[in-house]
Amino acid sequence: MEESKTPLLDQLESGPWPSFVKEMKRAAKKSPMAKDALGQLELSYTEKRVHWKHGGIVGVRGYGGGVIGRYSDAPEQFPEVRDFHTMRVNQPSGWFYNTASLRTLCDIWEKYGSGLTNFHGSTGDVILLGTVTPNLQPAFDALSEAGFDLGGSGSALRTPSACVGPARCEYACIDTLDICNDFTQTFQNELHRPMWPYKFKIKVSGCPNDCVASIARSDMPIIGTWRDTLRIDQAEVKHYANSDLNIRGAVVAKCPTKALSYDATKMELSVQPEECIRCMHCINMMPKAIRPGVEKGATILIGGKAPIVKGAYLSWVLIPFIKMEPPYQELKDLLAKMWDWWDENGKTRERIGELIDRLGMGAFLKAVELKPVSQMVFRPRSNPYYFWSPDEIN
C-alpha cells in the first residue's frame, strides 16, 4: 500500500464530527488544486505555521473587490496552488436555496475552481475556495449568467446578511430578508467598488435575540422590535402551567425589569407594559403563550466591530424605533449621511465606531442630523467637560 502523504491530517478523518479532511480528500480526487491545497495544509500541520502569502490584487472586470488574492509561499512544492484565489459569492437572503441553484454553483466550481467551498464564510457569502488567476473572469461570467453576483471585500460595503426572519420565525418584527435583499440591491456600487476608509457591515435581525449577531458583528445593526405591549394568550399560559415549566422561577423571576407577574391560582400571567424592555426572555420560554406586540419596527444601532484596531465595540443605539417599510428610504438617506461624514473624517482603516469614539457621538449626531434621546445611553456623563456652541450662549 502506498504510504500516506498526509499522516497528520489523516488523524482528523476519524471521530463523529464532520471531517473537513474527508471533504478536502473528496475534492482532491477530482482537482489537482485541491490535492496541492491538502498537501500544503499537511506542511502547515508539520511546521505549525501558515504557508499562504499576503493577497495580491486580482479581480474581475468592473469590480474592485469580491475576489481575495491568495498565493502559496511554497509554489515549487505545490505548483497547483501557486495562485489559489477565493471568490465571494453573495448568498440569497437568509441562506435559502433550492437544490437547482446549489447544483449550478457546484457545476461552475467544478469547471473553474478547486471544488472546495465554505457554506458559508463568516460574513455570509458562499466562499468558492481556490482557483487560478486566468479562471477568475470565466468563473464570474458563468456565475453572472446563472444569476449570481460577487460579495464585498476590502474597504467597501460588505455583503449584508439577515436571520431567517418572517420566512420561518414567529418572532420576526421586520422583514429581515426583504431588507437585506433590498439594501444589497440598492448599494451594489458601494459593495463592489471599495472607496471608504475601511469596511462597513450591515446585518439584520428580526428580534432582540439577534441570531445574526448584528450587534457585535456589524457597523449598522437593524434589530426588529415593537413599541406596544406583549400579547399574552391566557389559555396557552394554562397549558404551560400544567407542563413541567416553572413559570414563576424560569420566566417571571428572570424578567430583567420585573415587569411580569403570575397568579398561580388563576394560572394567569400579566405584564406592566411600560416596564417591559422587550428582551425576548419570556417569549423564548413560552412561545405559544407570549408574542411580540403589533406595532412593529426596528432599533437602529451603530459602531459594532471586532477588536482590530482600537478595541471591540458593541453597537450603540442610534434610533430607538423606526418603522421598516419598503423602500426604507429614511434609513437609506441616513446611511448616505453617515457614509459622507465617515468618508470625510475617517482615517485609513478606521471603522465608523472608532471615528465616533475619536470625534465624539455629539459631533456624529450633528452631522447626521439626529436628535439626542435618553434611550441612546445607559447613563449620562459624570464629568463636566462638555461643549457649548456659539448659538447656545450669550
Residue length of the chain? 394
Which residue has cell 407570549? 290
Q: Which grid cell sits at 144?
A: 453572472
Q: Is 248 exposed, middle or buried (0-12, 13-18, 19+ CB in 10 A)?
A: middle
Return the bridge partners of 89, or none: 126, 150
Minimum distance from residue 295 beta carbon to other proteins (Å): 15
Minimum distance from residue 300 beta carbon to other proteins (Å): 15
Q: Give the C-alpha separation, 227 to 173, whole Å.
A: 11
What type of residue is 218? S
Minimum distance from residue 365 beta carbon to other proteins (Å): 22
Q: Give whichever of 75 and 337 is closer to other proteins, judged by the CB atom.
A: 75
Q: Give whichever of 115 and 368 is closer to other proteins, judged by the CB atom.
A: 115
Q: Give whichever of 107 and 333 is closer to other proteins, judged by the CB atom.
A: 107
Q: Give whichever of 63 and 368 is closer to other proteins, judged by the CB atom.
A: 63
**Beta strands at 296-302 and 316-322: parallel, antiparallel or unpaired:** antiparallel
* CA 333 to the chain's CA centroid: 22
Q: Which grid cell sits at 181?
A: 435583499
DSSP state letter for 77: T
Q: Give the C-alpha separation, 338 to 366, whole Å.
A: 11
Minimum distance from residue 2 beta carbon to other proteins (Å): 20
Q: Give whichever of 215 and 230 is closer to other proteins, judged by the CB atom.
A: 215
Minimum distance from residue 26 beta carbon to other proteins (Å): 4
**Beta strands at 161-162 and 202-205: parallel, antiparallel or unpaired:** parallel
Q: Give whichever of 41 and 368 is closer to other proteins, judged by the CB atom.
A: 41
Does residue 66 contact residue 192 with C-beta atoms inside 8 Å?
yes
Minimum distance from residue 390 beta carbon to other proteins (Å): 33
Which of 130, 126, 171, 175 lies closest to 285 in space, CA to CA?
A: 171
Q: Give whichever of 273 and 366 is closer to other proteins, judged by the CB atom.
A: 273
Minimum distance from residue 112 beta carbon to other proteins (Å): 11
